Amino acid sequence: GRRQLIVYRAFFEPGVHGWPDHACRGCSLGADQVGHLAHLNARNTTLAYASRAPQADIARLKQRMGWQMPWYTITDSFDKDFGVDEWHGHNVFIHDGDRIFRTYLINSRGDEAMGTVWSYLDATPLGRQEIWEDSPEGYPQTPLYSWWNWHDNYDAGADKKWEEVSAAGEAAFRDKGEQ
């Protein structure tokens, strides 16, 4: 239901070292780095993992490792079609009405830098969606820091006090830079 989707192709399937107890060591290290998903979701972005393992094995592994991301079973040629059948990688998609666009692929050496809210958002077409970004007309943008929230509090709506605090901090930073 979100406009942006990031899909990580993880190697967890027969033939991968560690199967069936573990996913690939590199993919597992990457999964251990994933920040709380509520922050991405607040920016209209979903992160999901995909591999060829059956759902029962994925559920068991996620439970054991404490991972929270949605994780799907690839049953078609998705990984081959999007360049991640023989190597790990993140594909980024955005939908515009009924049309879906693949906007980014990061794999190989750049892929292991992913995991933070910022690295994920910076790879998406809408970015962090803050006013400092040079974005096309009509892109969603909010004041710097104003959307930040506790991961269990995004549903509560805007926090006017936090908006005042973040605006004051930004103004002080800007004033100091002008001096």
pLDDT tens-place string over residues 130-165:
999 999 899 999 988 889 999 999 987 778 888 888
Long-range contacts of 122-126 (CB under 8 A, 24+ apart): 123/6, 123/90, 123/92, 124/4, 124/6, 124/43, 124/45, 124/92, 124/94, 125/4, 125/92, 125/94, 125/101, 126/3, 126/4, 126/43, 126/44, 126/45, 126/94
Please name which of 76, 104, 72 lies closest in space to residue 90, comparing C-alpha atoms: 104
**Whether residue 149 is found in the same domain as residue 109:** no
**Whether residue 159 is found in the same domain as residue 114:** no
154 three-class SS:
helix
Instruction: Check pLDDT > 80 for residue 106.
Output: yes
Long-range contacts of 81-87 (CB under 8 A, 24+ apart): 82/7, 82/9, 83/107, 84/9, 85/9
**Whether residue 61 is found in the same domain as residue 111:** yes
Query: Residue 160's pLDDT is what?
Result: 83
Query: Residue 104's pLDDT is what?
Result: 96
Report the greatest alpha carbon distance in the chain. 61
**Whether residue 70 is found in the same domain as residue 158:** no
Whether 53 maps to a domain, the answer reads yes
Query: Residue 145's pLDDT is what?
Result: 85
**Whether residue 122 is found in the same domain as residue 149:** no
Whether 165 maps to a domain, the answer reads yes
- Domain range for 179 is 143-179
Please name which of 10, 105, 104, 107 lies closest in space to residue 62, comparing C-alpha atoms: 10
Contact 94, 126 (CB under 8 A): yes
Whether 138 maps to a domain, the answer reads no
**Whether residue 16 is found in the same domain as residue 50:** yes
**Whether residue 31 is found in the same domain as residue 117:** yes
Answer yes or no: pTM beyond 0.95.
no
Q: Give the count of domains, the chain.
A: 2
**Whether residue 60 is found in the same domain as residue 118:** yes
**Whether residue 22 is found in the same domain as residue 63:** yes
Whether 136 maps to a domain, the answer reads no
